[in-house]
Chains A and B, each alone.
Chain A
């Protein structure tokens, strides 16, 4: 346990220091959401209707932004070799790294959501509902994205490849995340069903993500 805690602590510390990715993600999220009203125009009703989708898309793109470095940085400086050799199962180490990434890069997005909700003319209730769906859904984005991050190491390519690999996997999360948010913001539909499916997607990704990522990293050893 101390080993995993040490890994989580280290990754969070690096993300929060100068040059880390945590702040970049939030700033990117902010820029995407702030640009939207300029693109859509000053129609407040339309903005409020698009709000949940815009916030979810922004969060999705922002969480992808720093994800490609998840294993690449460790691969480049040789840390990954030592992690693979260590007495900690690689699956657990992958899960710990994804958790640290979510805490450093995902949580700040959720904290920023209420502020951004104001810019999109969303009321308090719908903003908090969106924040809640993001809280339930962003772990799924990180844990499925981790598979892409591990593949990027295996294939020696980062950046855009990750987006191409991961974005299709995140479609279910996006559908149910936006459905639950819209149900809370405007809709006659119930909030419960899509929200529960969103939680289920996150739980499934907790199981599949670490195993798939570890398998990919082992395959890509060289």
Chain B
């Protein structure tokens, strides 16, 4: 499996964010997107996720499931956690499991893996920022998708959480997954660097 972008150009609100961007990542490889604020890291992830349309250029996933689009084979972990405060932790996770579908695993086990099993029945409104992030990570574990698009994945996570997340990413890569992460901090795993914009 190979994810690649060619001659990518992104325009937001009439302003060119980046152009002529090239990248490629093989299965089992992580790509760390780095660059100063406003250089278009999030835009690049949203382009790959199909949530933005490139002004020029193409993005392709070779060797994935033929009948599915790239977006349908990807997890997008954005700034916003996609959690409903009125629903409990377990209800939130179970909803995404049932809605996203495909190859799924047990939600309870994923909660255990991210250290939230004690809070399963707690409404998501009472979670801290770090716990919300952990719950989002549980979504990545519960529903299997080969491509992970992560936007500042370690924001709000404590040191133990960062270690745990690095382990999860390593497992994902070992199973032939692919990660594109926009980040300022070290990811904690070996990653190829993709620099966009000027030097920070």
Contacts and interface: CB of A to CB of B under 8 A. Distances in A.
Interface of A: 2-3, 5-7, 9-10, 13-14, 17-20, 76-79, 81-88, 221-222
Contact of B78 (A13, A18, A76, A81): A81
B49 A85 contact: yes
Given A3-B101, A81-B49, A87-B68, A20 B95 contact: no
Given A85-B76, A86-B72, A87-B72, A3 B100 contact: yes
B189 interface: no
A93 to B, nearest CB: 9
- 5 pairs of A and B residues whose beta carbons are closest in the complex: A78-B80, A6-B98, A17-B86, A78-B82, A85-B71
A13 B95 CA distance: 11
B91 A13 contact: yes
Given A81-B51, A221-B51, A87 B81 contact: no
Interface residues of B, number: 29
Interface of B: 12, 49-53, 68, 71-72, 74, 76, 78-84, 86-87, 91, 94-96, 98-102
Q: Which residue of A20, A79, A221 has the most chain B CB atoms within 10 A of its CB atom?
A: A79
Contact of B95 (A10, A17, A84): A10
B101 A78 contact: no
A3 to B, nearest CB: 5
Nearest to B86: A17
B47 to A, nearest CB: 11
A204 to B, nearest CB: 28
- Looking at chain A's contact residues, the main secondary structure is helix
B95 A82 contact: no
Nearest to A222: B52
B187 to A, nearest CB: 21
B87 A10 contact: yes
A14 B86 contact: yes
Contact of B100 (A18, A78, A87, A221): A87
B51 A78 contact: no
A221 B79 CA distance: 16
A17 B125 CA distance: 13
Contacts of A82: 76, 82, 96, 99-100
Given A2-B98, A77-B84, A81-B82, 14 more contacts: A3-B98, A3-B101, A10-B87, A20-B86, A77-B81, A77-B83, A78-B78, A82-B96, A82-B99, A84-B71, A85-B49, A85-B74, A87-B68, A87-B72
Contacts of A88: 99
Contacts of B53: 221
27 contacts: A3-B99, A3-B100, A3-B101, A6-B98, A9-B95, A10-B84, A10-B99, A13-B87, A14-B84, A17-B87, A20-B86, A77-B80, A77-B81, A78-B79, A78-B80, A79-B84, A81-B78, A84-B50, A85-B51, A86-B99, A86-B101, A87-B68, A87-B72, A87-B100, A221-B51, A221-B52, A222-B51
Given A14-B86, A85-B76, A7 B49 contact: no
Contact of B99 (A6, A19, A77, A81): A6
